Amino acid sequence: MKNLYGFTKDELEHYFVSIGEKKYKATQVFEWLYIHNEQNIWNFSNIKKDVLIKMLTEFTTDFIKIEKVLKGPDVKKFLFRLLDGEKIEAVLMEHNYGLSVCVSSQVGCNMGCRFCESGRLKKVRNLDAYEIVEQILLIQNYIKKKVNSVVIMGIGEPFDNYDNIIKFIKIINDAKGLAIGARHITVSTCGLIPKIYEFSNLDLQVNLAISLHGATDEVRNKIMPVNKVYNIDKLIIAIRDYIAKTNRRVTIEYVMLNMVNDRKSDALALIRLLKGMNVYVNLIPYNETENIGFSKSNKERIDQFYNCLKSEGLNVTVRREFGGNIKAACGQLRSESE
């Protein structure tokens, strides 16, 4: 059976029409699942019993489970056990503008970024849309509050699980679903260029973030194997195309690695690469892990890098640090559990 939480409202409309019912029943189902937070199909009381019986033979509403929660200042890290026993993570962050959840998109990751804990345990499989939706639902149930924004930036490369990610976005963005505004949803990619072009043709109005982390092929090749397939020149062309098609600003994620990509020459290279583009640079202090031989740039080096970009007119911020004391770096908790 298929999990009901993995269906968009359009897909459910097609289902109900296919069994001779009115498509508005899809809206009723969404209201039960996401507004009334009702998991038991049999309790969908405004749908006829014969239809419910048929649904119960075709759909499940089984949930993944919270296995562990670690808590720090303004952050909670969740370890989930999936129905097949695999494990993933999500992080809840409290900002002054609301609650944000960073969700995983795959079990493991094949991108192999050298500084990332997620890639140490290789990709096992893609997550189904319902497994991503349920990360948010379980966190909301745990904290008894509504999540305001979502970033798809946890374990896995979202564009390597493209179809399920698009379904997930449509479900959480739906007014009868989780009703999270498109401009409060961000999807991140390390640079799968064909999917960037495909994504630019969708009218979703969600945010795109690029995990760049290096301003030259020399640096990026050392820390991000994907660059050997899709190099920086090709990536910048794809980003420019996305901006031109969507008229939307792109976030450039740049993790600060001590003496790897945080020198003045790196800052100047980044300026040459991005100046004049409608982008926003997010400098990320590195969350260190004992399993990987990289260290975090100190505050002085981060400040110097920031000031260099700022002086040349780039829109840049330094991300507030979250969860260094609770293994909040992507993949750390799962890796420790495994």
Q: What is the DSSP letter of 296?
A: B
Residue (of 262, 269, 263, 279) closest to 314 by Cα position:
279
Catalytic residues: 89, 330
C-alpha–C-alpha distance, residues 293 and 287, integer Å: 12
* C-beta atoms surrounding 314 within 10 Å: 20
Query: Are 256 and 297 within 8 A, CB to CB?
Result: yes
Cα dihedral sign, 57-32-151-87: negative
Answer for the pair 335, 291: CB distance below 8 angstroms, yes or no: yes
CA dihedral 92, 93, 99, 103 (to 10 degrees): -40
DSSP H helices, 124-263, are 129-143, 162-173, 193-200, 217-223, 232-246
Distance CA 30, CA 33 (A): 5
CA 79, chain centre distance (Å): 16
